[in-house]
Amino acid sequence: MGALTENHKCPPRTFRRLTDAVSTVGLGSLIGAVLCFAVEDRPAGALVVAAAALGGVLASAVRQAVNPRP
């Protein structure tokens, strides 16, 4: 084992990975719910929940596609 180079990057800790995932899904859910209200004047509760869930899943998928884990 040699000395660390300038390009060394420690792997993220559990708390960091958890906060990244929760914030991504939360932001995607918020965007999904807002878009639901933008399209539909008075959406049903189930529609808002479904849109929020879809937004969260899509945001998580985009995050994983952009930053693949080694």
Q: What is the pLDDT of residues 13-43, one digit of tens each?
A: 888 888 988 999 999 999 999 999 999 999 9
> Based on the structure, what is the number of domains in the chain?
1
Does residue 14 form part of some domain? no
| Domain membership flag for residue 52 | yes
Within a domain: 56: yes
pLDDT score at 10: 77
Task: With respect to residue 64, please indicate whether it lies within any of the assigned structural domains.
Answer: yes
CA dist 42 → 31, 32, 38 (Å): 17, 15, 10
38 within domain boundaries:
yes
Read off the amino acid at residue 29: S
Q: What's the confidence (pLDDT) of residue 1?
A: 57
The residue range of the domain holding 46 is: 29-70
Q: Would residue 13 count as lying in a domain?
A: no
Q: Give percent above pLDDT 70 in the chain.
A: 93
Instruction: Give the pTM.
Output: 0.75
Is 20 contained in some domain?
Answer: no
